[in-house]
Amino acid sequence: MTTQAPLPEDQPSYTLQEFIQATAQQDRGHGLFEKETERLLEVNLDGRINTKMGSMVAYHGEIKFTREKALDQGIGNLLKKAISGEGMRITYADGVGKLYLADAGKKVSVINLQGESIFINGNDVLAFEPSLDHKITMMKKVAAMLSGGLFNVHLSGTGMVAMTTHYEPITLLVEPGKPVTTDPNATVAWSGNLTPQFKTDTSFRTFIGRGSGESFQMLFEGSGFVVIQPYEEVAFQAG
């Protein structure tokens, strides 16, 4: 009869118990929003939170989910949704418990706004507190050239917001006399005081079937910041 040789002290045995211990949920006491991992947000819910529709992956406790109604964001936002065919679809989570949110394995970043404002790509908003004012804004020049256009969410006030990015986000400072130009498909967010301009060096026909940010660019001038990701998330569809 043969016996199994003992494992070296520094080599894991890969038992089920080791797996459970290594991946177990941990309470870090970070408050309402807690990054359980870099790609999973834990919400310590006691009341209501606004979440991206479809982002719930698990929860425990007494939590009720309700889809946002058509007029909850106001008639103006409803019209923008109708024109663009897009919009930030929200699910209200009400109750007490722990709620876990994720979006396609994207990295989660949490920002605590304290009377400030920020624009975030509508597809990249994961969750935010109801205390924040939110308004859908549409890039009209983009919508005029491409069906669908590009929509963003202007968040302002005091409260927490969680946004997602493909891989690690990078923040570029915008300074007077030092504008920043970005690819729209890689642009995630920017400071609330900035209004991007759009520029292109090609004709409209060039866009058909492409939707390329290399020929269509966002220009930021003034004082503020812009957040980009190392990934081109195609947001434009040719008409």
Query: Rounded to an integer, what distance in angstroms lies between the CA atom of residue 51 and that of residue 91?
Result: 5
Query: Rounded to an integer, what distance in angstroms lies between the CA atom of residue 226 and that of residue 101?
Result: 25
Q: What is the CA radius of gyration of the chain?
A: 21
Query: Rounded to an integer, what distance in angstroms lies between the CA atom of residue 51 and that of residue 231?
Result: 23
- Quickly list H helices, 56-210: 74-84, 140-145
Query: Rounded to an integer, what distance in angstroms lies between the CA atom of residue 131 and that of residue 160?
Result: 9
Provide the strand spans (E) within the chain: 33-37, 40-52, 56-67, 90-101, 107-121, 125-128, 133-138, 151-165, 170-174, 180-182, 187-191, 197-200, 216-220, 224-228
What's the predicted TM-score (pTM) here? 0.82
Query: Rounded to an integer, what distance in angstroms lies between the CA atom of residue 47 and that of residue 94?
Result: 5
Triad 139, 113, 183: Cα angle to 5°:
35
Per-residue pLDDT of the chain (239 residues; tens, 9 = 90+): 555 666 666 777 889 999 999 999 888 877 899 999 999 999 999 999 999 999 999 999 999 999 987 555 554 554 444 433 445 789 999 999 999 999 999 999 999 999 999 999 989 999 999 999 998 887 765 554 444 446 889 999 999 999 999 999 999 999 999 999 999 889 999 999 999 998 875 554 455 554 454 577 899 999 999 999 999 887 543 33
Query: Rounded to an integer, what distance in angstroms lies between the CA atom of residue 136 and that of residue 122?
Result: 8
* Whether the Cβ atoms of residue 151 and residue 88 lie closer than 8 Å to each other: yes
Architecture of the domain defined by 30-228? 4-Layer Sandwich (3.60)
